[in-house]
Amino acid sequence: MDTPLIVVNFKTYSSAMAGSADKLGQLMAAVETDARMVAVASAFDLSSVSSISGLEVWSQHLAPVGQGSHTGWLEPLTAIERGAAGTIINHAEHKVPLDHVRDLMAMLPDDFPICACAADVDEARALAELGPTFIAVEPPELIGGDISVTTADPAIVSDTVAAVKEVNPNVRVLCGAGVKNGQDVATAISLGAEGVLLASGVTKANDVPGVLSDLVSLI
């Protein structure tokens, strides 16, 4: 398995926007770990957060449009110029059609990571046909909750891994929804995932450095 990923989605939490996004990014960059730490920042914060040394920063969304008459869309080349080193797409809070994902992938450089989110095994299988770098399975009903997907529905993790690898063995699988601590991360990896995607477990934590250290403690 390649280096495990800890992907933290900043969303639009007040604790992870503007100056708070910079502070959170700095705390993530300071974690001593062999894991691959990824901050998923708002488009407004890409430039600032991506300037933090030692931190990989992804966009929360991109649109398959070129530079031109596309008011309000998140155009990929500008995002890259402003520091995006990858992106998530099709998050449960920002769903898109499969052809959006396909067309976006066609516009991006080959070495630009794209993590497509899936609500279930069937959607993960369909996304795997497109060949994104990562697929993150996140049951929507568990997102932001107190119970990790690894506890509430471990089969969806292992079944997604099996389905994705059957379609395209090069696609790496992450899992998310309710992930809070190092045991959740370790369990995800034991189920075949190669990392986790989480948000509120970090962004709403009272002790962010402690939570970040705990997340990587069993890797």
Catalytic residues: 91, 138
Angle at the Cα of 124 from the Cα atoms of 118 and 125, rounded to 5 degrees:
160
CA nearest neighbour of 218 among 178, 183, 177: 183
Per-position DSSP letters for 10-76, written without gaps between them: -TT-GGGSTHHHHHHHHHHHT---SSEEEEEE-GGGHHHHHTSTT-EEEES---S--SSS-TT---H
Cα(147)–Cα(142) distance, rounded to whole angstroms?
Answer: 7
Cα(95)–Cα(117) distance, rounded to whole angstroms?
Answer: 9
Cα(64)–Cα(55) distance, rounded to whole angstroms?
Answer: 26
CB atoms closer than 10 angstroms to residue 206: 6
Q: Tell me which amino acid residue 175 is.
A: C
End-to-end CA distance of the chain: 12
